[in-house]
Amino acid sequence: MKNIFVTGGAMTPFGRHAGVLAPELAQRAILEAMNDAGVEARDIQAIYCANVLGGMILGQLIVRDLGFGGIPVYNVENACASGATAVHLARHAMMAEQYDTVLVFGIEQLTALGGGTIPLQRNDHKTELYAKAGMVLPAVYAMRGTRFLHERSATPADLAAVAVKNRRHGSLNEYAQQRTEATVEEVLASRMIADPLTLLQCCPSQVDGAAAVVLRTRRPAQGRAVKLLSSVVVSGIRERADDDILDAEITARAARQAYEQADLGPQDLDVVELHDAFTIAELLYYEALGLAPRGEAVALLQSGATRLGGRVPVNPSGGLLAKGHPLGATGVAQMVELMWQLQGRAGARQVEGAKVGLTQCTGGGIAGVDHAASSVHLLGV
Amino acid sequence: MKNIFVTGGAMTPFGRHAGVLAPELAQRAILEAMNDAGVEARDIQAIYCANVLGGMILGQLIVRDLGFGGIPVYNVENACASGATAVHLARHAMMAEQYDTVLVFGIEQLTALGGGTIPLQRNDHKTELYAKAGMVLPAVYAMRGTRFLHERSATPADLAAVAVKNRRHGSLNEYAQQRTEATVEEVLASRMIADPLTLLQCCPSQVDGAAAVVLRTRRPAQGRAVKLLSSVVVSGIRERADDDILDAEITARAARQAYEQADLGPQDLDVVELHDAFTIAELLYYEALGLAPRGEAVALLQSGATRLGGRVPVNPSGGLLAKGHPLGATGVAQMVELMWQLQGRAGARQVEGAKVGLTQCTGGGIAGVDHAASSVHLLGV
């Protein structure tokens, strides 16, 4: 695979950015990422904008006053995996030797939409049916949680422990929306959203944020070069009545392909940023990514291996649960976090000596599209 | 450039598809295109969905029940150039040898949104300002039309003649929404939308449609192979006070690049499908694409060269003006029309002996992003 380097990156703090419009928010991340990469507008040959709910030609509206001279702008959407998908499409073009230097950014302003879960589409009868039946994302994950507790003889406290860990991590991250720690008792005592998932087990839906990376085919002259080792996007297979809802098939498949591309395995990972939209998701992804054998997710969590200081810290940024989940931005922000980790720039949440990292995003997962997208990237120094 | 062939294509009739939801509409075009290409779901390695206003993971919702087994689906948006941009991104991946066979489709259901011009984003203060000032697309093109009449000593009848030509072409196309001819007098007598553009000089905004193509790196075993000779997407430069609104700079730049890629020039074209969202646009694009020298657009039209039977028929399908403009579908449908033309399958509107064709789309063009995107593709047999 052609060498592609993450030569610079930045993100805005994730949180409520009231009164700031999307272009301004995204521009902050973009300009800082370009500065971090040591590139100017004239160096960039193409721009990929990841966004879900911001509307038509958002990328162009964001970059129009930044001095880019007529280069292509591509707007990419893949639900919560939009940011990762944008990186993936940028890589295609770089592998095809169309561009040497590209800017990829993600942006979402969920506070502009009011509260509640992500708005569902009403494009087909099946979605309509699912939405009316209450099958929004928290409900889907709650069903997985319930099944998990039953099959694994796990307890609600085991789920809550994921939030405890990630909020602890988030308390160390100045970019995280949630910066207060919580105990298992506090997590369990928070408002019930969809049994067994309490409020602190669901990623915040009232959050804005943007993140940007500069990808180049040339190794940077200075600093520790972070290489994109693999990049995979897949879609889910259609639902079947006998589907195992604890088997994150799509993510397992994406991970297998990503490991194969890089000729690495889960044992090689030093740090992971994964899609903990709900506590149960992190446990399922431990298994899908091969961090734990099937059935051993809770044991892995309890061993302390996935917390800062452990063997393979997962979501040192605080993850979606603590950092927040501005949809289009998330996949790009995961990559920025890993870049910082692999360059030793992650401050209080630094994973010491991290050499190889993995990011994972899923998108969709409603209305029987389980899931619409999953993306796994491996980065290394 | 790696060989890429348009091995099959299809579109739904463009028009009001009341009661048909987006997935069903798109599936009709997809299944017919696959049948035309002689491929099955298992042959397809990736799917690109072009759509502007249909919402999150529309591509996945459309294809989920068609038997594709977990292959990636990419949702692409670039306003009216979305379909062409999706083809362009698919080509990147094929050039990078990621896929041999991909499906690209575009879909839009404008009737589901009610009437009026395309909804504007409210993502930034400048757009808000432009929208409140009435600078929607018909107004932008009306200003170009007014300037054109002044600078070229042209008459409203010269503009109307574009609609007369394209409605004549559309009357021969069973996929066109507008299938009745109109005289110059009738075009001029239709309701004024934005002076000098009357109703019949604006593409219909109440239209639904879908189109799909199958792209392969292997030359098809049967039939006349239609090759993608070049593929370009660029963005506009930011507005300046001294911009010449009659200079379609972005399209001229895209065309130059496309001709260079294919080592061809405008004199080599046998047939063109271009973005006649308004009559004035077609005249400006004659010059931007090099079909006529600067200042000679009206003369070219009046010569009859661009009508069926002429030297280089433009919009034999009827174009956006007669066929209709379901945003995401348009760029893909242009490509299907050219495939039919180059294979001699265009029926009553056939351009005899056509060997090389060009498609052109622009996207955006509001709020000072002039334009957000322009795409030019060349196809040949």
pLDDT digits (tens, 9 = 90+) for B64-92: 889 898 999 999 999 999 999 999 999 99
Q: What is the largest CA-CA distance in chain B?
A: 59
Q: What is the pLDDT of residue A306?
A: 98
CATH class assigned to B125-203+231-380: alpha beta
CB contact under 8 A, B372 and A78: no
Query: What residues are paired with A213 via a beta bridge?
Result: A9, A104
> Residue B132 corresponds to which amino acid?
K
Beta strands in chain A (DSSP E): 5-11, 46-50, 73-77, 101-109, 192-194, 197-198, 208-216, 226-234, 271-273, 356-363, 373-380
A78 Cβ under 8 Å from any chain B Cβ: yes
Of A23, A52, A60, the CB nearest to B235: A60
CB contact under 8 A, B250 and A70: yes
Q: How far apart are CA A356 and CA A343, in angstroms?
A: 11
pLDDT, mean over chain B = 92
Phi, psi of A224 (to 5 degrees): -85, 120
Tell me which residues of chain A, numbers 213 to 252, contact chain B at a CB-CB cutoff of 8 Å: 233-238, 250
DSSP secondary structure letters along B218-247: SPPSSSPPEEEEEEEEE-PPPP-TT--TT-
pTM: 0.96
CB contact under 8 A, A76 and B74: yes
Instruction: Please list the helix, strand and coil fractions of chain B in percent, rounded to the nearest 5, in that order.
Output: 40, 20, 40
3-state secondary structure of B279: helix
Helix (H) or strand (E) holding B103: strand B101-109
Phi, psi of B310 (to 5 degrees): -85, -175
| Of A337, A339, A332, residue with least CA distance to A379 | A339
Cβ count near B213 (within 10 Å)? 32
Of B61, B75, B77, the CB nearest to A127: B61
Continuous H helices in A317-359 = 319-323, 327-342
DSSP secondary structure letters along B46-65: EEEEE-SSS-TTHHHHHHTT
Residue A312 CA to its chain's centroid (Å) = 17
Of A58, A98, A235, the CB nearest to B92: A98
**Overall average pLDDT of the B299-313 stretch:** 98
CB contact under 8 A, B373 and A60: yes
List average pLDDT for each run of 10 residues in chain A, which is 381 residues long. Answer: 92 94 94 97 98 90 88 96 98 97 96 68 64 82 95 96 98 98 98 97 94 96 92 80 80 96 98 98 97 97 98 98 97 98 98 98 68 92 97
Tell me which residues of chain B, numbers 304 to 363, contact chain A at a CB-CB cutoff of 8 Å: 363
C-alpha distance from A369 to closest chain B C-alpha (Å): 7
Residues in chain B within 8 Å Cβ distance of A123: 21-23, 54-55, 58, 61
Instruction: Please list the helix, strand and coil fractions of chain A in percent, rounded to the nearest 5, in that order.
Output: 40, 20, 40
Residues in chain B within 8 Å Cβ distance of A61: 121, 123-124, 127, 367, 369, 372
CB contact under 8 A, B60 and A123: no
Q: How far apart are CA B119 and CA B112, in angstroms?
A: 12
C-alpha distance from A120 to closest chain B C-alpha (Å): 8
Q: Residue B266 corresponds to which tokens in the numbers above?
A: 């405008």
3-state secondary structure of B333: helix
Residue length of chain A: 381
C-alpha distance from A127 to closest chain B C-alpha (Å): 9
A100 Cβ under 8 Å from any chain B Cβ: no
The set of residues, in sequence order, having a beta carbon less than 8 Å from that of B228 and lying 6+ positions away, is B4, B5, B6, B87, B91, B215, B377, B378, B379
Query: What residues are paired with A380 via a beta bridge?
Result: A227, A356
Kindly tell me the sign of the dihedral angle through the C-alpha atoms of B22, A371, A116, A317. Answer: negative
CATH topology assigned to domain A5-116+209-216: Peroxisomal Thiolase; Chain A, domain 1 (3.40.47)
CATH topology assigned to domain A125-204+229-380: Peroxisomal Thiolase; Chain A, domain 1 (3.40.47)
Residues in chain A within 8 Å Cβ distance of B233: 72, 74
pLDDT at B238 exceeding the cut of 70: no
Phi, psi of A73 (to 5 degrees): -120, 125
Residues in chain B within 8 Å Cβ distance of A56: 52-53, 77, 79, 118, 121, 364
C-alpha dihedral (B173, B178, B181, B183), degrees to nearest 10: -140
> Residue A212 corresponds to which amino acid?
A
CB contact under 8 A, A372 and B233: no
Q: How far apart are CA A329 and CA A320, in angstroms?
A: 11
Higher pLDDT, A88 or B116: A88
Query: What residues are paired with B106 via a beta bridge?
Result: B50, B211
At B163-208, the pLDDT tens digits run: 999 999 999 999 999 999 999 999 999 999 999 999 999 999 899 9
What are the structural domain ranges in chain B?
5-116+209-216, 125-203+231-380
Tell me which chain B residue has its CA closest to the CA of residue A78. Answer: B57
Q: How far apart are CA B66 and CA B54, in angstroms?
A: 19
- pLDDT band at B122; cut points 50, 70, 90: low
Q: Residue B114 corresponds to which tokens in the numbers above?
A: 């009610």
**Overall average pLDDT of the B286-291 stretch:** 98
Of A55, A89, A124, the CB nearest to B123: A55
Out of B49, B80, B202, B361, the active site residue is: B80
Residues in chain B within 8 Å Cβ distance of A23: 123-124
| Of B76, B52, B53, B74, residue with least CA distance to B63 | B74
At B253-265, the pLDDT tens digits run: 999 999 999 999 9
B52 Cβ under 8 Å from any chain A Cβ: yes
Residues of A recognised as catalytic: 80
3-state secondary structure of B233: strand
CB contact under 8 A, B123 and A372: no
CB contact under 8 A, B56 and A367: no
- ipTM of this complex: 0.95
Unique residue bearing structure tokens 């047939």: B271
CB contact under 8 A, B57 and A124: no
CB contact under 8 A, B75 and A74: no
> Residue A173 corresponds to which amino acid?
N
Q: Which residues of B239-251 are buried (b: 16+ CB within 10 A; e: fewer)?
A: eeeeeebbebbbb
Q: Which residues of B102-118 are buried (b: 16+ CB within 10 A; e: fewer)?
A: bbbbbbbbbbbeeeeeb
Kindly tell me the sign of the dihedral angle through the C-alpha atoms of B175, B176, B180, B184. Answer: negative
Q: What is the pLDDT of residue B370?
A: 58
A206 Cβ under 8 Å from any chain B Cβ: no
3-state secondary structure of A195: coil
**Mutation choice for A interface testing from B123, B127, B251, B374 by most A CBs within 10 A:** B123
C-alpha distance from A140 to closest chain B C-alpha (Å): 17
At B13-61, the pLDDT tens digits run: 999 998 888 889 999 999 999 999 999 999 999 999 999 988 888 999 8
Query: Is B80 annotated in the active site?
Result: yes
Tell me which chain A residue has its CA closest to the CA of residue B236. Answer: A70
Same fold, A5-116+209-216 and A125-204+229-380: yes
Cβ count near A339 (within 10 Å)? 25
Q: What is the pLDDT of residue A130?
A: 74
C-alpha distance from B216 to closest chain A C-alpha (Å): 16
B60 Cβ under 8 Å from any chain A Cβ: yes
Tell me which residues of chain A, numbers 115 to 134, contact chain B at a CB-CB cutoff of 8 Å: 118, 121, 123-125, 127
